[in-house]
Structures are given as C-alpha cells and as structure tokens.
Amino acid sequence: MALPDFNLLITLDAVLAEGSVAGAARRLQLSPSAMSRALARLRDTTGDPLLVRAGRGLVPTPRATELREQVHQLVQDAERVLRPTTPPNLKALQRTFTIRTREGFAENFAPALLQRIAKEAPQVRLCFQQKTSKESTALRDGTADMETGVIGRVTSPELRAQALFRDQFIAVSRNKTTRYAKANHIALTRHGALNQQIDEALGSPRKIAITVSTFTAALALARATDLIATVPKRQTGNLREGLHSYPLPFAPPELTVSLIWHPRMDADPAHRWLRAVLLETCKPTG
C-alpha cells in the first residue's frame, strides 16, 4: 500500500483555516491553479468535497468541519518535531543524569559541578556510578547518560568523546623524604602497562609490597604505611589531602581523560548543556 502524501495535510489545514482556495493559496504562497489542483487531490484522497459552493463563497462539508481541529493539531505536531531543538528551560528541567566514572572523579569534581547545577538547574540530579571496566554497554542501552575514561583500543568507535583534561602520574607518600626507587611500593592491578613503564624508566623492577585495585585503596595504604603510591595527579587531588605528593624521578606517562557518550544523545539539549558544564568544571585553572 502506497503511503499518502503527507504534504496534503498542510494544504488541508490551510484550506480549512481560510475557507477559500484563494486564501489558502496566499497562505501557502502557491498560485490559484496550483491550489485548485491540490484541492482536487485532497478530494480524491479523502473521498469528500471538503468545500462546496454556497452562493458566492465556499462552505465546509461536515467531514471538513470534523477534520479541522485534528488536522491543525497534526500539522502543529509535525512542525514541532521538525523544528530545530531549542535550549532547555534549565530552571524547570527535572532530570536525573547517570555518569559512570573511575574512583576519584566524583570526589574531586562533583562539588564544583553540583554548585553550578544548583545555580542553573536546581531540579537536576546526578547519579555517579563506579566504572569497573572499559565496556560501554551502559551507554548503548541507555542505563548511563555519559562516562569518563581514557580512550583505548577497546572503546567502541560508535561512541562520541571529548577531552576533559590531561593528567599525569605522581608519587604519593606520608614521608616527604622517601626515595622513590628504593622504597616499597603499592601497585595497581588495572594498570599493568603503567607498572611496566615505571620499572623500565627506573631500570629495574620496584619492590612491590602490595597490589590493590583502586587509587582510593592505594592512597589509604600510603596514608597508613611507609609505602609509596603512584596515582594520577588531577583525579586524586582531594583524596591526597594530608599526604606528600612529588614528581616521579623520570618523565611521567600522561593520559587524557575524556567525556564519552552515545551518539543518540548528541542533539539532546539537556545532555549538551551538562556536557558543556562538565567541560567547564574540569577545565584546568591557573
């Protein structure tokens, strides 16, 4: 079955609103003959004359009167769907955004982020979820709105990403005079490549006293022992309070932390707003 010509809805809306062929032609910027042909097509499609002669004018048939409000609403709805998106009314926006991040991100960036949101969109809520793997299934199935992370080979090429900030690894300990190469260290299970880079830069394997899975655990142990933790500087800023932080004795590996989302959210006005707020919040200062 062939699809109907939906342009006829616009024509029908104009005809029913104006009550005349000439008026509808002016409204749609068509010639009177083109409008007459369009009306003929409408009559064939609906099986109703729609407008009939009454004296010197035209009057709508009962079918046309019945269709007037319904057709007008359909045309308005279609125009609304096809209209470019407009900035959201942030003061009235009620929405919860779920963001998957590694440990340390919320602790360091959420306070400033929440302050900005409270000022601009007080009814918006954030839900931070722990990102335990690089799998981005949550973005594809819609259970998460966005996530942060380092773009790698396992990151799906379908996803969108924008750099949030650059970071580099530093040494952290409770003892300010600790010698990095000779001290006992805390290693991280998720960062085998980093561990290898450090050992290669030092020229020999470090003495690993314990291996943990998170930066939070590494910093807690550094705070309670004489061990050294190697962690990213910006993402652990608030978590390192009270500890001594110092550069590695070699050029440290750098990484770029990005904001990642699914392309279906590209044009969503509220999502775009929050992405911009996150970029501003994570922007380096000074």
Same domain, residue pair 272 and 214:
yes
pLDDT of residue 84: 67
Residue 108 in domain: yes
pLDDT of residue 132: 77
pLDDT of residue 192: 67
Domain range holding 146? 90-286
User: Sign of torsion, CA 148 149 151 153?
Assistant: negative
Residue 2 in domain: no
Residue 36, judged by CB atoms within 10 A of its CB (0-12, 13-18, 19+), counts as middle
What span, in angstroms and rounded, lies between the C-alpha atoms of 174 and 147?
A: 32
Same domain, residue pair 248 and 153:
yes
CA distances from 38 to 17, 21, 28, 73, 77 (A): 15, 10, 11, 20, 22
Domain boundary among the residues 82, 113, 137 is at: 82
CATH number at 34 reads 1.10.10.10
Same domain, residue pair 126 and 223:
yes
Structurally, how many domains does the chain consist of? 2
Residues comprising the chain, all counted = 286
Closest by Cα among 32, 28, 24 to 60: 24
Ordered per-residue pLDDT tens for the chain, 286 residues: 567 788 888 888 888 888 888 888 888 888 888 888 888 888 888 888 888 888 777 888 889 888 888 888 888 888 777 776 678 899 999 999 999 998 889 989 999 999 999 999 999 999 999 887 778 888 888 889 999 988 876 667 788 999 999 999 999 999 877 789 889 999 988 766 778 888 888 888 999 999 998 888 999 999 999 999 999 999 898 899 999 999 998 888 788 999 999 998 988 999 999 999 999 999 876 5
CATH number at 163 reads 3.40.190.290
Domain boundary among the residues 26, 47, 82 is at: 82
> Cα-flanking dihedrals φ and ψ of residue 192, to 5°?
-60, -40
Domain boundary among the residues 82, 114, 145 is at: 82
pLDDT of residue 134: 76
Same domain, residue pair 18 and 129:
no
Residue 126 in domain: yes
pLDDT of residue 253: 75
Same domain, residue pair 126 and 208:
yes
Same domain, residue pair 103 and 181:
yes
Residue 70 in domain: yes
Tokens of 189: 């299970």
Same domain, residue pair 146 and 259:
yes
Same domain, residue pair 60 and 94:
no
Residue 124 in domain: yes
Same domain, residue pair 160 and 238:
yes
Radius of gyration for the alpha carbons in the chain, expressed in angstroms and rounded:
31
